[in-house]
Structure 1
């Protein structure tokens, strides 16, 4: 029984170890420009991956579909969801909305998103992300899009307390060229990009990759095009009964990364935080009730 919340990309990633070499080659081809890469005829998809049409048919069945037509119908549904704007998203959930209060419906959706997302994350890849961000030999640059910049700023602010060498990409995207000048080989670029994926974010990632940066991507279940450039990808399910996607699961991952990086660097982080508190005390930044 398949989880109805799983995308086809989720299924492919979960079953890679069960696929033959030809099927893995096909999976890589589909994931390269997902989901559009799977919308051609079975012959076109096979030719693009340089495999046989029976290989396509076998892999589709391994993914739980009765045939190629059912596989493509699922892909088209994902593509429609991927490109939909806020109005279309609201109308989609409103049509079948149950009578329960929005507090309950929204919370249940968020809990389902968290459960599904955590079930899909590879702990080894999560640890690799934290190791990269904690590495004192690397600077960490953080960027987000129109909506996700708030998550990027939240991560950057906390990382600046945890370690030196954290550079947020601030302001409008046309100002990103300046911090790009200082991005060096081996640096880490943390990117946030969810549907509808932004051209400026992709261009930033492309330039960063050309300059030798290691890219960490926070994205949604449909995966931003930036995933093709990323060393590590952390995927969050975002669907809730709203015109907008939810950031709750992404924020959970962000805060967990912060906690993990803090623990990896605790002796240095403790000294850094004590020095910061002393600065706050000297400037009277926080109100004291004594």
Structure 2
């Protein structure tokens, strides 16, 4: 269980001062808990006794054990591919990769979807359906492929959707961003500085930010109106994006249904263009050659 899960599991049992402490811990997680217990208490404007009581209430024997758990998570968050492989190679039993990998990838999807708040998901879809909001989508070195996939679908569904390029020219795209526009940011460990800067610039211009990230959460979550955390760890040197892809496809399916009349009209126009360019094969129709 992640430390955040362990803390949040007991939120309803916490006193107001303990909840105040919890907010501080989550605001800059996990770095907020890596200083001394005195520093943490001061940052949260509570006593060290409150810190000790919260940790005991959430299943930690003391502050050293709590910090050890945070350090383990931080190590996971910043792991490079070689370090990731070292972990799964020694921890998992020998079996065929088809079984080992697929079982974990499917479990990631199941747990990720179970953890999505339906109200939060509906809030995302409401933003995506609003014709007065322009949609900007940003990904990184790996998540850029997911960003492009999401962009291609949203572009068919509604107008005013932009994919920020994975180059310095993204700065030009953001010149016109305005209050109420939406940034869809995709950012997973090891968390890219460029994506964070994009999020900060959009936040400063009062755009709404939606983040798709991993279980440890990109720093962008502190700026986001909606955050969707998916589990990505699998027995491989590289993480699996399958759970994030499923979340994106769920959003596409819901937005398509909410805007179906407009989607049908746009799709009909698109299909006509495809027919004129002969982009797709038409089975059952004879083709003539000149």
Structure-1-length-normalised TM-score: 0.94
Pairing 1:92–2:87 present: yes
- What displacement does 1:14 show? 4.3
2:109 to 89, 107, 114: 114
Q: Which moved more, 1:77-86 or 1:109-118?
A: 109-118
**What is the RMSD of the two structures over their aligned residues, measured on CA atoms?**
1.3
Q: Which moved more, 1:14-23 or 1:102-111?
A: 14-23
Name the structure 2 match of 1:140: 135
Name the structure 2 match of 1:225: 219
Q: Is the 8 A contact 2:84 2:236 kept in 1?
A: yes
Q: Is the 8 A contact 2:111 2:231 kept in 1?
A: yes
Call closer, same or farther: CA 1:37–1:55 in 2, change over 3 Å. Answer: same
Pairing 1:59–2:63 present: no
Name the structure 1 match of 2:287: none
1:1-290 to 2 correspondences below 5 Å:
6-172=1-167, 174-290=168-284
Tell me the secondary structure at the aligned position of residue 117 of structure 1.
helix
- What displacement does 1:62 show? 2.9
- What displacement does 1:66 show? 2.6
List per-residue Cα deviations over 1:86-122 (Å, max 9, x = no partner). 0000011101221211110111111221222123221
Tell me the secondary structure at the aligned position of residue 240 of structure 2.
coil
List per-residue Cα deviations over 1:187-244 (Å, max 9, x = no partner). 0000000011111111111001111100000000111010010000000011100001
Tell me the secondary structure at the aligned position of residue 227 of structure 2.
strand
List per-residue Cα deviations over 1:35-56 (Å, max 9, x = no partner). 0111122222111111111221
Q: Distance in 1 between matches of 2:9 and 2:250?
A: 23
Structure 1: give runs of 5+ residues left out of the alignment. 1-5
Tell me the secondary structure at the aligned position of residue 136 of structure 2.
strand
Structure 2: give runs of 5+ residues left out of the alignment. 285-290
Q: Which moved more, 1:37-46 or 1:83-92?
A: 37-46
- What displacement does 1:58 show? 2.1
Q: Distance in 2 between matches of 1:87 and 1:176?
A: 31
Tell me the secondary structure at the aligned position of residue 88 of structure 2.
helix
Count of residues in correspondence between the two structures = 284
Q: Distance in 1 between matches of 2:16 and 2:183?
A: 32
Structure-2-length-normalised TM-score: 0.94
Q: Which moved more, 1:53-62 or 1:277-286?
A: 53-62
Q: Which moved more, 1:197-206 or 1:108-117?
A: 108-117
Q: Which moved more, 1:143-152 or 1:269-278?
A: 269-278
Greater Rg, structure 1 or structure 2? 2
Q: Is the 8 A contact 1:29 1:49 kept in 2?
A: yes
Q: Distance in 1 between matches of 2:19 and 2:271?
A: 52
Q: Is the 8 A contact 1:10 1:120 kept in 2?
A: no
- What displacement does 1:23 show? 1.3
